[in-house]
């Protein structure tokens, strides 16, 4: 059993009959309205139309009307690129809409949910920590309370050269259960989380390895829920659902709560339902040791070891399973600079995986076309910020040159606002709010625009500096979210 926030159901249900048609009708009305407005501008006044027609007919007897002027080649190229961007954005828009419809109305896949009694295997839990004195104690205290057979669970906190009291706190808690908690104080080696995990794997003797970041609080029954899918020999990785713990701190944390809900409750579960590419997220999940070793283990130079492992396992023929009801609680960023740094780090890591495996993914013969398409679109989600800014820029220029209809600018604005990132505003987040039973959160939906703009700027900056400046994989170091002391369990 995992802890659930009071009054907040996360298993979802069927929506009222009006909610989905209303969302679709609102979007369609906006697009049609823009097109009608453009068409109205082009219509002449009826009274003047007859006079203009007669004059034109009279003039046409004596001279041929010249053809419309041709735009310079560069303008035509800009126009083609703009229409291409519109098409790409609409593909992502349809993708998010399809995921939301599947999640609300489609058949849900939870194939390992009912496994609660079994011959449970030995499991190792890794907790990488670098200067985590504010949160590591809460994590380890929760580990001591886990519901798993005695003697089959080993927890290895990885103190990677912390300069605060992280190591002391780990040793103090480990002294209470030395057979269960075995600290690993890493003194040397390459920087970064991936390198720390790679070194710690030398101490792992079990086939199943679970990983939790230091600020995560697992529920008592979470380990069994994450281990259950590994009874399937084709499963190489498992991912649970992330739920913010510090929701009530400010507007940012409430917005991130909605974002997490859309990303996990809808996006991840829909990909699980459709047999596509659920993503291992680096925490609240685990890997099969032999599967990871078969595809090369943890890469020391990886900026996003989770996404890197996801795609290597996928191309190696291993399945990643998403467990939507296996919840774990995290501390989300509480300040905008921290949030921007987090997005910047995610974008660079994701783009590195794109550079490494984009072409290999498309040419992999093991994968179905649907998996290739979903994986390819997933790899490009952070590149879409740069594409979106380019589309806006081209749209404004072409509009001032009297080349672009106003309705296309409206289409670009609507579709891009509903597409950026790994969730869609009016589809996945709205559907997730309904499934969670948190209808009051919908009132905050307009404030997501601020987060949208922050993401747009941060991701674009990360993409440009990565592709035009320092290459990926250089200068890998520990990148962690700034923590704040936890005052209460639920806020």
pLDDT tens track for 170-211: 999 999 999 999 999 999 888 889 999 999 999 999 999 999
Residue 476 CA to residue 193 CA, distance in Å, equals 9
pTM, rounded to two decimals: 0.80
In a domain, 92, yes or no: yes
228 band by pLDDT with thresholds 50, 70 and 90: very high
3-state DSSP assignment of residue 244: strand
Q: Mean pLDDT for the chain?
A: 81
Q: What is the mean pLDDT of residues 112-140?
A: 92
Decide if 402 is inside a domain.
yes
What confidence score (pLDDT) does residue 56 get?
A: 45
pLDDT at 269: 95
**Domains identified in the chain, total number:** 1
Judged by average pLDDT, the poorest of 94-103, 134-143, 385-394, 406-415 is 406-415
The sheet with strand 153-160 has its strands ordered as: 184-186, 153-160, 123-129, 208-211, 285-288, 235-244, 319-330, 217-218
* Residue 255 included in any domain: yes
Give domain status of residue 9, yes or no: no
Range of the domain at 315: 20-41+70-111+232-491
What CA–CA distance (Å, rounded) separates 195 from 83?
44
Q: What is the pLDDT of residues 104-123, one digit of tens each?
A: 998 999 999 888 888 999 99
- At residue 177, the pLDDT reads 93
* Helix or strand holding residue 387 (H, E): helix 383-400
Angle, CA of 313, 318 and 319, to the nearest 5°: 105
Length of the chain: 491
Share of the chain above pLDDT 90, in %: 47
């Amino acid at each position: 059993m995992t802890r659930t926030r009071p009054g907040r159901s996360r298993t979802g249900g069927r929506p009222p009959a009006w909610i989905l048609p209303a969302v679709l009708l609102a979007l369609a009305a906006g697009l049609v309205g823009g097109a009608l407005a453009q068409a109205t501008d082009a219509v002449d006044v009826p009274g003047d139309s007859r006079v203009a027609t007669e004059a034109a007919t009279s003039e046409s007897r004596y001279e041929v009307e010249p053809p419309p002027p041709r735009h310079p080649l560069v303008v035509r190229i800009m126009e083609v690129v703009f229409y291409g961007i519109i098409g790409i954005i609409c593909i992502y828009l349809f993708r998010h809409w399809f995921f939301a419809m599947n999640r609300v109305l489609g058949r849900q896949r939870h194939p390992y949910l009912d496994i609660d009694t079994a011959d449970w295997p030995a499991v190792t839990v890794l907790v990488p920590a670098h200067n985590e004195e504010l949160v590591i104690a809460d994590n380890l205290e929760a580990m001591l309370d886990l519901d798993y057979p005695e003697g089959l669970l080993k927890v290895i906190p990885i103190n990677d050269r912390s300069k605060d009291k992280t190591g002391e706190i780990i040793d103090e808690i480990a002294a209470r259960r030395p057979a269960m908690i075995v600290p690993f104080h890493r003194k040397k080696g390459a920087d970064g989380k991936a390198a720390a995990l790679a070194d710690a794997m030398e101490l792992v003797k079990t086939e199943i390895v679970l990983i939790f970041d230091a600020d995560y609080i697992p529920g008592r029954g979470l380990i069994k829920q994450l281990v259950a899918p590994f009874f399937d020999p084709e499963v190489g990785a498992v991912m649970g659902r992330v739920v913010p713990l510090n929701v009530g701190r400010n507007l940012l944390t409430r917005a991130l709560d909605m974002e997490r809900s859309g990303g996990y409750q809808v996006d991840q579960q829909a990909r699980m339902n459709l047999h596509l590419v659920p993503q291992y997220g680096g925490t609240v999940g685990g890997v099969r040791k032999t599967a990871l070793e078969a595809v090369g283990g943890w890469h020391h130079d990886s900026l996003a070891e989770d996404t890197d492992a996801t795609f290597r396992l996928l191309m190696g023929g291993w399945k990643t399973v998403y467990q939507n009801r296996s919840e774990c609680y995290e501390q989300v960023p509480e300040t905008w600079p921290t949030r921007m740094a987090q997005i910047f780090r995610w974008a660079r890591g994701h783009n590195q995986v794109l550079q490494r495996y984009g072409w290999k993914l498309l040419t992999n013969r093991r994968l179905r076309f649907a998996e290739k398409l979903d994986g390819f679109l997933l790899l490009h989600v952070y590149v879409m910020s740069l594409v979106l800014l380019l589309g806006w820029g081209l749209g404004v220029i072409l509009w001032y040159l009297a080349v672009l209809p106003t309705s296309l600018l409206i289409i670009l604005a609507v579709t891009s606002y509903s597409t950026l990132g790994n969730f869609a505003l009016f589809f996945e987040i709205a559907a997730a709010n309904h499934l969670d039973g948190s209808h009051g959160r919908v009132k905050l939906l307009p404030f997501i625009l601020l987060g949208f703009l922050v993401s747009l700027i941060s991701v674009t900056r990360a993409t440009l500096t990565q592709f035009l400046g320092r290459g990926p994989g250089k200068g890998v170091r520990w990148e962690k979210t700034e923590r704040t002391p936890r005052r209460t369990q639920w806020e």
